[in-house]
Every structure is written in structure tokens, then in C-alpha cells.
Amino acid sequence: MSQKKENQTKEQPEKVEKKTTPEEEKKKQEKKELNPDKFLDLAKIINREDDVTNLKPVLYRHILKIASRNEVDDKYHILFLYEPNDSIQQGMVDRIYNAIPDDNKKPILLVIHNHGGRIEPAYLISKTCKELSPHFVVAIPRKAKSAATLLALGGNEIHMGPMSELGPIDPQFAGLPALGISSSLESIAKIVCKYPESSSMFSEFMKEKLDLRILGYFERVSESAQQYAIRLLAGKELNLEANDVAHKLVYEYKDHSFVIDKEEARELLGDVIKINTPEYKFSNDIHKFLNEVNIILSIFNKKSLSIVGSPKDFIFADKKEETD
């Protein structure tokens, strides 16, 4: 070795390995061993973070793990409308749209867990997923009610299981059904027919309380919901005509919370409904995981978690009561 190289070697400082304390070693080992599939381990993972947003990487990795073990990760481009607390709103359209790659060639698998909301954004989300994928697939681990049911109708396949629910397409205003006023008027008319002497009382009441313009608007919104449903059902092989399915979903169920289970859904939609498939199993495993996350966040952080868009698009919000 030359003198110059020998001097350079001597001048290089020796690398000193940083020693970790026993406490750091314990935390490092615990981090390796914790399994998010186990509730108590998941609670430890969540509680060790002061800022819940720091949970995003570990939650995302576990969602990918669930997709891999259910063998849907390579088959689909996976999206979520997993929002158990808030209604479908216009901003969700952009979140879903931005989560679809420009060059997407994969079928889209959209996991829906939602109680409903505005019909216009629900229709646009469904239409967008149909247009930007060769095959649009929906999986429902628990609830896809009202506007979320409308959204699901755009799917070439709707995957359901024992706990899955669709529901009547029942637009709501301030928590009240759009068709509620007309139903109330029908009830009043029956009472008046039975008790004619009550007609003047009801006449005065409606004169003061009822704006007929609102009644007309609510009726038109319900008609629009039916038209959107017919558009999304077009071209599908159904057990009934698309017009009949849409009319039944909008007008023939009397309760917003009515459970349309997998059997009744198949009676309406035929082979569009797929039962107890790997896609449903994936969505059910996802729901179990995210529901446990939400239970823990609710207890210790007073927060709730939702995902709208890609599996990375987590939304942490202050806890609100879940809406049926």
C-alpha cells in the first residue's frame, strides 16, 4: 500500500455503532411482533401514536396485505367509498376520480359502506367508474343505502354476503324522505274520507304549513332518482325491466332503512348479484379491520376513520354517531 493511501486510511474515523437502550429495543421488537389482525395488538399500534395521522402507513400496508391474501390486489384497481358516518357529497366525486389512473386498464373494485346522501354525486361516481374501467365491480360488506344503492346499480357485478344491505333509493332533505309529504297527504286524504267533518281543520292546517312548490320539487327529485337508476341499469340482463326495477326501488318501499338483502337483490337484479365471493370476502375483511380501527379511535381518540378514493385516502374526523 502506498504511503498516501496508508495515511488516508489512518485519517478515516472509525464508525461507532449507536447503542440502543433496552427500552428502545423493547419498542422495536414489539413493533415487529404486533399484528393488526389482532384487536389488542391493533389497540397498541393506535395508542402508541400521539398524532393519529401517523397511523396512515401501517393502515395502508395492512389493507394491501388483506387484498393480497384475498387475491384481489393484482386483479383489480381497488377504490373505497367507506364512509359510515357522512353522506355522499359532491367532493367525493373528485376524490374517486383522482384515484383512478389515466391509463387504467384494470377492472375497478369499489368497496362501499355508506348510508346514502345526494343522488347527483352518487350517479356521477358510478358513471365515472363505469367509463374509466373495462369492468366495474362493487362489493358491499355491510350497508349501501339509498344514494349508495343508486351508485351500486352501475356495477357490472355487485358482490354481497350475509350482512350486506341495499336499500330503497330514497332522497332525503334534512333527514326527511322526499316522498314523505305526498305520503302524508295521502294519509290525510284517507282520514278526511273517513271523517268528513275534519276537512276544514286539515284545510286550514295545510294552508298555513304546506308550500306546494316544495311538494312539487320533492316529487321531481324522486323522479330524477328513478331516471338515474334506469341509466345505470341500461344494458344489464335483469330479472325485471330496468324501468320496473328503478320504479320499485324509488317508490315501492315505504321505509328508508328497509333491508334489501342478497336474496331480494338477486330477485331484482338477477346475475348482477354475486354472493359470497372472494371480492365479498375481501370487503368483509376490510370492514372488520376498519371497524375495529374505528372502535379504538372512538374510545381513545374521539375520532373516526373513513376512506374515500384510493386505499391511501384516509380521512380522520371528530367522532359522530353512526347514522342508520
Distance (Å, whole) CA 294 – CA 302:
9
Per the domain annotation, does 212 fall within a domain? no
Per the domain annotation, does 291 fall within a domain? yes
What is the structure's pLDDT at 156? 97
Instruction: Using DSSP bridges, classify how beta strands 77-82 and 108-113 pair: parallel, antiparallel or unpaired.
Output: parallel
In a domain, 304, yes or no: yes
Indicate the pairing of strand 314-318 with strand 303-309: antiparallel
Cα–Cα distances in angstroms (integers) from residue 55 to residues 44, 274, 315, in the given order: 12, 34, 11
CATH number of the domain enclosing 163: 3.90.226.10
Q: What is the pLDDT of residue 255?
A: 78
Provide the β-strand partners of residue 81.
112, 308
Asked if 265 and 166 touch (Cβ cutoff 8 Å), the reply is yes
pTM across the whole model = 0.79
Residue 292 domain flag: yes
Residue corresponding to grid cell 332525503: 172
pLDDT score of 324: 45
User: At a CB cut-off of 8 Å and minimum separation 6, what does 223 contact?
Assistant: none
Q: Is residue 255 part of a domain?
A: yes
Mean pLDDT per 10-residue segment, the chain (324 residues) = 51 58 62 87 94 95 97 97 94 97 96 94 97 97 96 98 95 52 56 69 60 55 90 93 95 86 97 97 98 96 96 90 50
Structural domain total, the chain: 1
User: Is 249 domain-assigned?
Assistant: yes
Q: Identify the pLDDT of residue 219.
A: 61
Of 114, 92, 118, 324, the C-alpha closest to 221 is 118
Sign of the dihedral through C-alpha 28, 34, 36, 40: negative
Q: Which residues pair with 51 in a beta bridge?
A: none
Task: Tell me the DSSP string of 32-67.
Answer: HH--TTSHHHHHHHHHT-SSGGGGHHHHHHHHHHHH
pLDDT of residue 91: 96
Q: Is 279 within the bounds of a domain?
A: yes
User: What's the pLDDT at 165?
Assistant: 97
Structural domain harbouring 160:
49-174+227-318
> Would you list the DSSP string of 204-237?
HHHHHH--HHHHHHHHHHHHHHHHHHHHHHTT--
Is 324 a member of any domain? no
